Structure 1
Amino acid sequence: MNAMLVGADTLGNIPDVLNAYGISIHRHVSGRNSAHQRKPDRLPAGTDLLILFTDFLGHNVMKHFRQLASSENIRFIACRRSVCALKQSLTGVGLSERTQCGDCRHACPRKPRRH
């Protein structure tokens, strides 16, 4: 799954979290660069998920990108730029974290815990 990220100057541990969910970063727009502040008329081709980091974006920019995602039937999430907030939002839209099996090096869906 390819994601477009909007907001945040640096991503820190965000790419590692996304990889754990089987998501690769298709494009990252920080929003600070003047070229990034121009509003595109559509999302890049191949975008499956739009992630908006709310603590780095203005309301109008968020509204514009949400409308683009809705018009192209692309899922979007909005959260703060923190690992915990991102994990919670990804889980909230039905994505599950992947983990490495002990027997192989392939990413497999996490098995549910039994109590």
Structure 2
Amino acid sequence: MAQTPVNALIVGADRLGNIPALLRGRNIAIAHHISGREPGHQKKVASLPSGTQLVILLTDFLGHNVMKTFRAAAQKDGIRVLVCRRSVCSMQQALDQCGYCASCPRRQMGTALLPA
């Protein structure tokens, strides 16, 4: 029985490179990708896109105000936030550390998505 993919919002970077393939392997679907370059992204975000279950912030392409805005919106909605650099290695380490690794017993039991 296949699990339903986790819907993620990625904030930062214009291009994602090999990150989508890594996330697909971890059963995470990219529902939305926001570069964070728009001036409006620095202001308060009313709410995250509907169905978002995970927010991934790519720190090497984001200003502090944009990170603060999206982190606050995620915390308000009780959505887990993953923070890392825009590289496959950094993303893989962050996923392993927060419980999204393939061998994680919580993932196999379906409880890996605990709010931050």
Please indicate, yes or no, whether the TM-score normalized by the shorter chain is above 0.5. yes
Aligned length: 99
Aligned to 1:69: 74
Kept in 1: contact 2:41–2:66 (CA 8 A): no
Aligned to 2:59: 54
Task: Name stretches of at least 5 consecutive residues in structure 1 with no aligned partner.
Answer: 99-108, 110-115
- Larger helix proportion, structure 1 or 2? 2
Greater radius of gyration (CA): 1
Kept in 2: contact 1:30–1:36 (CA 8 A): no
How far, CA to CA, are the matches of 1:37 and 1:30 in structure 2? Answer: 12
Task: Name stretches of at least 5 consecutive residues in structure 2 with no aligned partner.
Answer: 1-5, 109-116
Q: Deviations over 1:31-82 (max 9, x none)?
A: 2245655542110110010000000000111011111111100000111000
* TM-score, with structure 1 as normaliser: 0.79
* Equivalent in 77, 83, 87 of residue 82 of structure 1: 87
How far, CA to CA, are the matches of 1:63 and 1:53 in structure 2? Answer: 12
The percentage of counterpart residues that share the same residue type is: 53
Q: Alpha-carbon deviation of 1:91?
A: 1.0
Amino acid at match of 1:70: Q
1:14 and 2:19 correspond: yes
* TM-score, with structure 2 as normaliser: 0.78
Q: Alpha-carbon deviation of 1:96?
A: 1.7
How far, CA to CA, are the matches of 2:79 and 2:65 in structure 1? Answer: 19
After superposition, the CA RMSD in angstroms is 1.7
